A = this chain, B = another copy of it.
Amino acid sequence: MAGSVYGDILKISTWGESHGEGLGVVVDGCPAGLKLSPDNIQEYMDRRRPGAIKYSTRRNEDDSIRILSGIFEGRTTGTPISMLVFNKDHRSADYSEIASYYRPGHADYTYDAKYGFRDYRGGGRSSGRETLGRVAAGAVAVKLLNELGISVRAYARSIGPIEADMADADMDYVSQSPVYMPDKEASDKAEAYLKEAAAGRDSVGGVVECVVSGLPAGIGDPVFDKFDANIAKAVMSIGAVKAVEIGDGLAASKVPGSQNNDSFCIKDGKVTKLTNHSGGVLGGISDGSDFILRAAFKPTPSIAKKQRTINKDNEEIEIEIKGRHDPVIVPRAVVVVESMTALAIADMILKRMSAEMEGVKRFYGKK
């Protein structure tokens, strides 16, 4: 209950510090018989790797994932899947300066307030590198969802004040965009904006949007474990996220009900909706439309600009943070948003199976 375990049926336990021996995750509760290879995981790991993205740190790590358990003859066995990455260059740096003060926007102060001391090497457990375990587990969840015809796709919706025009969106362009945007014009502008920020020793935030297609209606539980509530927690738990929107989100609060309600209709003999302002969820349960969420990321707190803060002796000082830092984390966060969304949904998909007696009886051959 100290915070590094997530999920009910599909339960993951992540571990590891930025500059410790390594990082990893144990996935318990993955159904047996899922075809899974290290390549399935590595593909996701590579998408969050520093080197893979232009505007991110140049730390030289290949983050090769090792799967140590839970797979036999290419399939999951139903027992825990342990995956890890060993850190490579974790012993070199000098952290005496960073250990002596509290960086604005970072968790230095709050970890000290909670635990009395902290592993200050590279941010320890509060480092963005912590997402490595999320993504490895997320790759498993995505594989599971894919087998059920469900896809999860995220991209940068905005970078700082530059927003993608979704009317011009080309999903195939996302992987070519250095900022993972689906709109070339906005992507170019965002790049220019980023360069300017970096030149000014500053940083930039943005918004990641994620779309889940192929989801059956009827997923999610009433009251506290609503589909969107579970997603909100999963996504808000990603470092630097400051807002989560579902469907029209904040905009829904500004318009009248007659405009926000989505009318049900029949298309090709199937129940659907004329619009999707709700983002695919009604009363906390999926309605069969695309599920849509947006996560707003604050700008990277590590900046080279001079800043005021205090040191461990409670003296007010001025600092300039040295070293390599992403001017933006949004592009690398895209795969993390996908991962957390997939983990939350896979868990709910598995829970759904016991929701009604007809299904239970059919499963046990009593119908």
Contacts and interface: CB of A to CB of B under 8 A. Distances in A.
B113 A288 contact: yes
Interface string A224-263: 1110111011111101001111111110111111101111
Interface stretch (A39-47, A54-62, A171-179, A355-363): A355-363
A360 B33 CA distance: 10
A206 interface: yes
Given A243-B245, A249-B242, A363-B353, A160 B256 contact: yes
Interface string A147-175: 11100000000101100000000000000
Contacts of A109: 217, 264, 271, 282, 287
Contacts of A277: 298
- A203, A284, A357, most chain B CB atoms within 10 A: A357
- Chain A contact-residue range equals 35 or more
Contact of A82 (B6, B16, B220, B307): B16
Contacts of A302: 257
A32 to B, nearest CB: 4
Tallying the copies of this chain within the complex gives: 4
A203 B303 contact: no
Interface string A261-293: 111111000010010011101111111100000
A314 interface: yes
A244 B256 contact: no
A297 to B, nearest CB: 6
A240 B363 CA distance: 30
Contacts of A203: 256-258
A3 B242 contact: no
22 contacts: A2-B28, A3-B226, A4-B26, A4-B221, A16-B68, A31-B356, A32-B355, A75-B117, A77-B115, A78-B114, A82-B84, A102-B264, A110-B283, A126-B284, A226-B236, A229-B234, A239-B283, A250-B250, A250-B296, A260-B298, A265-B310, A266-B314
